[in-house]
Structure 1
Amino acid sequence: MIKNDGVGMEAVFRVEGNRVLARPYAAGPWDNTMQHGSAPTTFAVWAANQVETPAPMHVARVTMDLMRPVPLGELEYETSILRSGRKIQLVGVSLRAGGHEVARASVLKIRAAAITLPDYVDNSSLALDAPMPETCRDPRDGFGDNNPFVQCMTLKLARGGGFEELGPAAVWFRADRPMIEGHATTPEMLAAIGGDFCNGVASSLDFSKWTFINSDLTLNFSRPPVGDWVLVDGHSVFGPGGAGLSIGRLADRHGYFGRSIQSLVIEPR
């Protein structure tokens, strides 16, 4: 669990039974009545982890499809076990607003087991190659002042220009505000937060002239993340037909543990 639990701060989400209240902190940069994509994805990770597993398991993949813009205010959610066994569990999470499904996630869990890898397995590429967050600066410089969800975080620029310059960048994320009322924010939830920011911190398009909204997000973990910081080391590619990809490597203080990928809809403002 993340140590910085935001004691005394109002959470982004309040859950009562199958009802969810998404407070204004969940709002994103594109429309202040709609949630940032990180918010429902983070909620889905939490919801999936409330489903009991037949054996100790950890999240290996998260896929979020944003069916419609996800509004603030009252929503309903439902979880379902799509597949379950001794080695894996696949959980579906659905969010609904006004009778319509607005987001649908699938969360794959894999059994936790201690194994010893052969000596010939080379994991040197997983070693952290970025400075620790304590030595980095805040990259926002005013960016995100109108983005409530960004204000729930501490960000530290490890490499590149972040929000200030175009191109690849690596940014550390820490959640300061609790995500779910009464629950600690887990490192897996923090990875979901950071992964959805990849198109923002590592874009090659001018935010003032273009929109590049993601319609989905997929996260893959080779191991569970740990600690209260997650690094997103990302870059974006754009095609001539109005589509693009933002791709990020995910790390904690111990090295790289996963990746994120977003499908982008590219439009001039």
Structure 2
Amino acid sequence: MNASAPAPDGYYERVDEHRYKPTAHAGGAWDPGEQHFSPLGGLVVHAIERHLAARPDTGLLLGRIGFDILGRLALDECEIDVRTVRPGRTIELVEATVLIGGRPAVRARAWALAAVDTGAVAGGAPDRLPPPEGLAPWPLTSVWPGGYIASLDVRPVGPPRPGRTTAWVSTGLSLVAGEASGPLASYVALVDTANGIAVRQPPTVWMFPNVDLTVHLYRQPEGRWTGLDTTVVFGGTGQGVTSTVLHDAAGPVGYAQQILTIRPLPGPG
């Protein structure tokens, strides 16, 4: 990418049917030379939805998406291979593998479930969040570097606290430049931000990257805002968990979990 040219109006550019090139907007928070996983997770959902759309419509909805991050996500061209593992009329399992530099970097498995009218028995969800309109923006760049973080509009519901923050997140960028993506892919593209909004310790002193992301949905999200009601717990043996209640502007939609590996950054010298 020409460093003097402006980045396209999206996190990725399409190269061909299965390959994408990240733009500067996808730059990571731990290392600007890496991809932030959040937009890559959305891109994987985009590829899965394209795979599902290429056959007769079954009316299935994605209810669970689990991502395993297998290694460094270099800011380089990636290829996404999608296959159906377990076909079915009411339950289907799809697997996606992201290759960067010819090596697997992310594996994702998504369960697609039958859509059934269960409105008469729906219940148990938490309360909805206050709407993002009117909330003051929070420059998350004061905590994190990277092109992805700089692309966000973050609006906390209350003052951010160590290990506990509720915030709305949105972006004016498309997932793939010049290409429409579905509401779910655009929504998931912001979910991995959760681990960065409720930091327990300064990321200049401690590292706490997540090695996975699992999203469970009981309602399909809509709209441009992703609501993250996030709690971060650090254990005493180097592991932590980021747990998030997921919302859109109409109310809660599900949950996200991220397992963290915690370690101190080496001191000078």
Same fold (TM over 0.5): yes
Report the alpha carbon displacement of residue 151 of structure 1 after superposing the two structures with TM.
Answer: 2.2
Q: Using the alignment, how far apart are the partners of 1:206 and 1:266 within structure 2?
A: 12
Q: Are the equivalent residues in 1 in contact too, given 2:31–2:146 (CA < 8 A)?
A: no
8 Å contact from structure 2 (residues 21, 78) kept in 1 = yes
Question: Please, which moves more after superposition, 197-206 or 52-61?
Answer: 52-61
Q: Separation in 2 of the partners of 1:155 and 1:112?
A: 32
TM-score, normalised with respect to structure 2? 0.88
Matched, 1:99 2:102: yes
Specify the SS of the correspondent of 1:214: coil
Q: How does 1:1-269 map to 2 (within 5 A)?
A: 10-15=9-14, 16-52=16-52, 54-118=57-121, 122-123=123-124, 125-128=125-128, 130-140=129-139, 142-143=141-142, 146-161=145-160, 165-269=161-265
Q: Secondary structure at the match of 2:44?
A: helix
Deviation, 1:153, is: 2.0
Report the 3-state secondary structure (helix = DSSP H, G, I; strand = E; otherwise coil) of the residue aligned with 1:51: helix
Q: CA 1:146/1:122 → structure 2, altered by over 3 Å: closer, same or farther? A: closer
How many corresponding residue pairs? 255
Give the secondary structure class of the aligned counterpart of 1:228: coil
Let me know the Cα RMSD of the aligned residues.
Answer: 1.9
Give the unaligned 5+ runs of structure 1.
1-7
Report the CA distance between 1:181 and its aligned residue: 2.6
Unpaired stretches in structure 2, ≥5 consecutive residues: 1-6
Note the C-alpha offset of 1:256: 0.7
Greater displacement, 134-143 / 11-20: 134-143
Tell me by how many angstroms 1:143 deviates: 2.0
| Identity in percent | 24
Note the alpha carbon deviations across 1:13-37, whole angstroms, 9 max, x for none.
Answer: 1221222211221111111111111
Secondary structure of the corresponding residue to residue 40 of structure 2: helix
Q: CA deviation at 1:122?
A: 3.8
Aligned mates of 1:25, 1:141 — CA distance in 2: 15
3-state secondary structure, aligned to 1:70: coil
Report how far residue 184 of structure 1 moved: 2.5
Give how far 1:145 is off.
6.8
> For the Cα contact (< 8 Å) 1:126–1:257, is it kept in 2?
no
**Residues 98-131 of structure 1, C-alpha deviation per residue, up to 9 Å, x if partnerless?**
221111111221122323424xx643x4330x32
TM-score normalised to structure 1 length? 0.88
Contact 2:29–2:144, Cα closer than 8 Å, also in 1: no
Aligned partners of 1:88 and 1:181: how far apart in 2? 32
